[in-house]
């Protein structure tokens, strides 16, 4: 029990000096990478920069204790930060204390939801986010995020959480563009794009090892941060209108509790649920990818608890919602992290930065952070997925497209709800007309095949319908319609056999339909039989009255049914 909820107990006892040194090195690299990220994502969420740092200390320690992935690095991430901005923006004004407090409360609610999902093993909820919905949602979010950061690149003021609002806002004020800011922004973007695309190749040619080259490439933003800080400081660009991070309160966050206001909780609940699920899905997928590379295992239910604990830790230390981040986890993994202790060391690193180094980033231009965000998120945009999905399945494509468009135009929450709703609808629609076939006997064998595809024996007075899907509410009435149509089109029929080799489930609606079919066929003078019913399905049927009322029999095999009923018409004939 204790071990289930405290995975740290498993690896802490085998922790040794080698692991320590690997973890320390990984933590150092992740810390360097996390500084600009945490500042940038706080900016994206509309929060003061220090909130990003706070969200990168205690949550990491909580994950070290409760998380099951050896290499996942938690903290603020782009999509969750955008969702935070959208949720909190509904109930408070950016820049106010109420806004910060709402973000802190959101992290707390999200933490509670995640822990409850973990305790009640409701990780399955994440399954309702189909891949096309996630893909469309991430692409759209990335586009919105990139667009929302353009204001920092141009040095203008714009608000809004969907693409239209943002672009409209930008288009209105070309005269306010600040040229030094634009220069910093464009240079930073260009540098980051080039380093991402070419730096690794160059480093490899210079003889740097592949893994090290990877890490250097991914920590590129730190270089941009340093250069632009120096440029702003030396060039006194702040006085030319370049907006900088400015004063950040030095010192660790003080522990505090979020708002316990029923109304605020109610207003934030749906947002917190969506953030929890989206964050969990992203985090688990990263964790599983990395775990598989070392044949390790993660436990999705315990991951919920780990992420929940991280969010509560974030909340009580003045942070905002966090989850496992993709790029920093990959860096952590590639830098050689062996246990979650690397996360705790990273937390210590960020704590040191918060304590001593914040004066150094006074001159960090917001445009630089915006540039790192834009370059990071644009790699998440995968419009080619639309084409791939179109080729594979039109239904999945439409779910992806609707999610993408609704997210772009109506914002993250409506986008994701519309996508989930549509994919559930399409799934039910797809299974509501299950595959079924009239079958006949392959001459001389005990096999039965589709009469439309094979030369098989049939008899005028008996019809056998094989159904290739579980029977449940979405297809129960289809089955009724199909059978009534068959019987009214074949007046000579005296026996109807439903062959169920692929039926894994008969729910109460389908049971009701089978009862109706039995009663109505009885009224039309047709006997109703079943064949090849699976064991568990049969066990359940025995708990109902259906088998008592059934006019016919339940045959173990279709061949038994054929044998028993073939001569009931008096003459055995060969027709279709």
Residue closer to its own copies by CB (options 255, 292) is 292
CB contact at 8 A, 477 and 513 = yes
Give the length of the chain.
Answer: 576
Structure tokens at 292: 């598989």
C-alpha 90/C-alpha 93 separation (Å) is 8
Strands (DSSP E) contained in 56-126 are: 74-75
Least distance to its own copies, CB of residue 255, Å: 36
Q: Give the residue with the Cβ less far from its own copies, 172 or 394.
A: 394
| Residue placing its CB nearer to its own copies in the complex, 296 or 410 | 296
* Contact positions with its own copies (CB under 8 A) in 469-508: 469-470, 472-478, 480-481, 484-485, 487-488, 491, 502, 504-505, 507-508
DSSP 552: S
Query: What is the phi/psi pair of residue 296, to 5°?
Result: -95, 170
Rounded Cα–Cα distance for residues 513 and 523 (Å): 15
Give the pair of three-digit tokens for residue 389.
């999905």
Calculate the alpha carbon distances from 212 to 155, 192, 198, 204, 313 in Å.
36, 18, 15, 9, 32
Between 230 and 508, name the residue whose CB sits nearer to its own copies: 508
Choices 52-60, 81-89, 329-337, 391-399; region in contact with its own copies by CB under 8 A? 391-399
Residues from 397 through 416 that contact its own copies (CB under 8 A):
397, 400
Q: How far apart are CA 255 and CA 240, in angstroms?
A: 38
Yes or no: say if 28 and 336 are a contact pair by the CB < 8 Å rule: no
Report 337-356 residues binding its own copies (CB under 8 A). none
Nearer to its own copies among residue 284 and residue 331 (C-beta): 284
CB-wise, 427 or 460, nearer to its own copies? 427
- Each residue 321-340 as x (binds its own copies by CB under 8 A) or -, in order, gives --------------------
| 196/520 with CB nearer its own copies | 520
- Pick 187 or 285: Cβ nearer its own copies: 285
- What radius of gyration do the chain's Cα atoms show? 31
Within residues 88-107, the interface with its own copies by CB under 8 A covers: none
Angle in degrees, 0-180, between the axes of helices 326-334 and 341-352, rounded to the nearest 10:
110
Nearest approach in angstroms of CB 270 to its own copies is: 14
Give me the least distance between CB of 162 and its own copies, in Å please.
22
Q: Which residues within the stretch 421-440 sit at the binding site for its own copies (CB under 8 A)?
A: 423-424, 427-435
What is the distance between the alpha carbons of residues 461 and 571, in angstroms, rounded to a whole number? 9
Site for its own copies, residues 188 to 247, rule: CB under 8 A: none
Window 27-86: residues binding its own copies (CB under 8 A): none
Least CB distance to its own copies at residue 133 (A): 8
Beta strands 74-75 and 323-324 are: antiparallel
Count the site residues for its own copies by CB under 8 A. 76
Of 46 and 136, nearer to its own copies (C-beta) is 136
> Which listed range, 200-208, 238-246, 394-402, 548-556, lies at the site for its own copies (CB under 8 A)?
394-402
Please identify which residue in 93, 94, 524, 568 interacts with its own copies, judged by CB under 8 A. Answer: 524
CB of 544 to its own copies, least distance (A): 5
- Compare residues 119 and 256 and give the one whose CB is closer to its own copies: 119
Partner residues linked to 554 by β-bridges: 530
Spell out the residues 6+ positions from residue 8 whose beta carbon is closer than 8 angstroms to its own. Answer: 64, 65, 66, 340
Tokens 């919920």 sit on residue: 304
Q: Residue 385, Cα to own-chain centre: how many angstroms?
A: 16
Strand locations in 304-416 (E): 323-324
Residues 274 to 313: which contact its own copies by CB under 8 A? 284-285, 288-289, 291-297, 300
Gap between the Cα atoms of 536 and 505, Å rounded = 8
Interatomic CA distance for residues 128 and 296, integer angstroms: 26
Asked whether position 137 contacts its own copies by CB under 8 A, the answer is no
């Amino acid at each position: 029990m204790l071990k289930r909820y405290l995975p740290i107990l498993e690896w802490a006892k085998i922790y040794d000096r080698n692991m320590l040194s690997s973890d320390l090195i990984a933590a150092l690299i992740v810390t360097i990478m996390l500084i600009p990220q945490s500042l940038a994502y706080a900016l994206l969420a509309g929060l003061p920069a220090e909130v990003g740092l706070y969200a990168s200390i205690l949550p990491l320690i909580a994950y070290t204790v409760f998380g099951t992935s050896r290499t996942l690095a938690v903290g603020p991430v782009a999509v969750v930060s955008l969702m935070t901005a959208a949720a909190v923006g509904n109930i408070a004004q950016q820049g106010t204390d109420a806004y910060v407090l709402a973000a802190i409360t959101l992290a707390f609610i999200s933490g509670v939801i995640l822990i409850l999902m973990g305790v009640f093993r409701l990780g399955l909820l994440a399954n309702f986010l189909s891949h096309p919905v996630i893909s469309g949602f991430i692409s759209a979010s990335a586009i919105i995020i990139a667009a929302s950061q353009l204001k920092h690149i141009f040095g203008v003021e714009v608000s809004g959480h969907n693409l239209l609002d943002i672009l409209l806002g930008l288009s209105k004020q070309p005269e306010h563009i600040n040229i030094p800011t634009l220069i910093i922004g464009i240079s930073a973007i260009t540098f980051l794009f080039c380093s991402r695309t070419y730096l690794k190749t160059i480093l490899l040619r210079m003889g740097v090892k592949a893994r090290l080259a990877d890490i250097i490439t991914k920590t590129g933003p730190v270089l941009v941060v340093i250069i632009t800080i120096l440029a702003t400081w030396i060039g006194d660009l702040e006085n030319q209108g370049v907006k900088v991070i400015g004063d950040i309160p030095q010192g660790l966050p003080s522990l505090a509790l979020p708002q316990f206001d029923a109304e605020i909780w109610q207003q934030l609940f749906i947002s917190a649920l969506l953030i929890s699920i989206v964050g969990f899905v992203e985090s688990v997928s990263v964790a599983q990818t990395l775990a598989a590379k070392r044949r390790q295992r993660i436990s999705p239910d315990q991951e919920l608890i780990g992420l929940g604990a991280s969010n509560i830790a974030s909340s009580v230390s003045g942070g905002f919602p966090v989850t496992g981040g993709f790029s920093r986890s990959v860096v952590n993994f590639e830098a050689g992290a062996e246990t979650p202790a690397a996360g705790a060391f990273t937390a210590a690193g960020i704590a040191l930065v918060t304590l001593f180094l914040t004066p150094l980033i006074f001159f960090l231009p917001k445009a630089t952070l915006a540039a790192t965000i834009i370059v990071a998120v644009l790699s998440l945009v995968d419009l080619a997925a639309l084409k791939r999905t179109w080729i594979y399945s039109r239904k999945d494509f439409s779910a992806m497209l609707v999610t993408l468009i609704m997210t772009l135009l109506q914002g993250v929450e409506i986008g994701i709800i519309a996508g989930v709703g549509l994919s559930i609808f399409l799934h039910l629609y797809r299974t509501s007309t299950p595959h079924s076939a009239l079958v006949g006997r392959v001459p001389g064998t005990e096999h039965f095949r589709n009469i439309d595809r094979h030369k098989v024996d049939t008899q005028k007075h008996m019809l056998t319908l094989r159904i290739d899907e579980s029977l449940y509410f979405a297809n129960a009435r289809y089955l009724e319609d199909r059978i009534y149509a068959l019987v009214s089109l074949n007046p000579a029929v005296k026996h109807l056999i439903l062959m169920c080799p692929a039926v894994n489930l008969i729910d109460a609606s389908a049971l009701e339909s089978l009862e109706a079919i039995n009663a109505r066929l009885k009224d039309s003078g047709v006997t109703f039989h079943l064949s090849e019913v699976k064991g568990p399905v049969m066990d359940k049927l025995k708990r109902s009255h259906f088998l008592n009322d059934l006019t016919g029999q339940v045959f173990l095999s279709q061949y038994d049914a054929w044998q028993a009923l073939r001569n009931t018409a008096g003459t055995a004939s060969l027709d279709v």
